[in-house]
């Protein structure tokens, strides 16, 4: 006969196995973030390798800038069109540092491509920078996808949401297992109380 405890135990086991790559990724990346300035910071300046520079024309409305939400949406639409026309679609960030220039950073986990479009001179320059391993890990940690083009970016965001939900279910199933095992209830309470108290103390003091 299949009991609730057996179902809960199996759910806890398989959720833990499914979550291994995601928990490892966030665990390692959090460690890198915590020690990035002292252990992982490179003394070498980032190297941008030229990809191409060519004449290019694309209309950029004056209102396409970072001044407000509507204009930022206009800027992203223009940047999306430029990336598509140059076969560089993907996750990106766009800015307009001055009226005569548009900059687009096309990001992937392993490199980033910077497009600099001179509106005045009608020229488009592309440069690429390869990522160090710590940068790859950090980009995995901070990657978002629902506001980015292409299906895979949105799939990544969905998998992150799914993993967060699975972690909550994993915690719940673990609490149920602890409570149902009377012989370890005291030690479980000590562990749970210690974790909660240390967390609350740090939140309160910081």
Task: Tell me: pLDDT of 46 over 80.
Answer: no
pLDDT number for residue 63? 75
Mean pLDDT score of the chain, rounded to an integer? Answer: 90
- Copy the structure tokens of residue 121: 């001179």
33 φ/ψ angles, rounded to the nearest 5 degrees: -60, -45
Q: Report pTM.
A: 0.83
Q: Which residue has better confidence, 181 or 201?
A: 201
pLDDT number for residue 199? 94
**Local structure of 153: helix, strand or coil:** helix
Cα 143 → chain centroid = 1
pLDDT number for residue 166? 94
pLDDT digits (tens, 9 = 90+) for 170-187: 999 999 999 988 888 999
119: closest CA among 106, 137, 103? 103
pLDDT digits (tens, 9 = 90+) for 143-172: 877 888 889 999 999 999 999 999 999 999
CA distance 76 to 97: 14
Q: What percent of the chain has pLDDT over 90?
A: 59
- Copy the structure tokens of residue 177: 């297992």
Place of tokens 């996808």: 145
CA distance 144 to 135: 15
CA distance 190 to 177: 15
pLDDT digits (tens, 9 = 90+) for 62-83: 777 777 787 888 889 999 999 9
CA distance 180 to 5: 8
- Copy the structure tokens of residue 79: 């940047």
């Amino acid at each position: 006969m299949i009991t609730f405890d057996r179902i809960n135990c199996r759910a806890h086991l398989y959720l833990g196995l499914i979550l291994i790559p995601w928990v490892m990724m966030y665990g390692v990346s959090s460690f890198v973030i915590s020690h990035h300035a002292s252990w992982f910071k490179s003394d070498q300046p980032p190297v941008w390798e030229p990809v191409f520079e060519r004449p290019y024309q694309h209309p950029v409305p004056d209102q396409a800038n970072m001044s407000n939400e509507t204009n930022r949406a206009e800027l992203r639409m223009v940047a999306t069109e430029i990336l598509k026309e140059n076969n560089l679609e993907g996750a990106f960030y766009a800015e307009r540092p001055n009226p005569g220039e548009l900059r687009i950073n096309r990001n992937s986990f392993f490199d980033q491509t910077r497009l600099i479009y001179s509106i005045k001179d009608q020229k488009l320059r592309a440069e690429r920078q390869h990522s160090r391993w710590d940068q790859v890990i950090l980009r995995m940690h901070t990657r978002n996808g629902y506001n980015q083009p292409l299906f895979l970016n949105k799939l990544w965001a969905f998998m992150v949401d799914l993993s967060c939900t699975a972690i909550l279910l994993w915690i719940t199933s673990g609490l149920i297992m602890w409570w149902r095992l009377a012989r370890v209830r005291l030690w479980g309470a000590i562990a749970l109380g210690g974790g909660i108290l240390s967390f609350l103390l740090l939140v309160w003091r910081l």
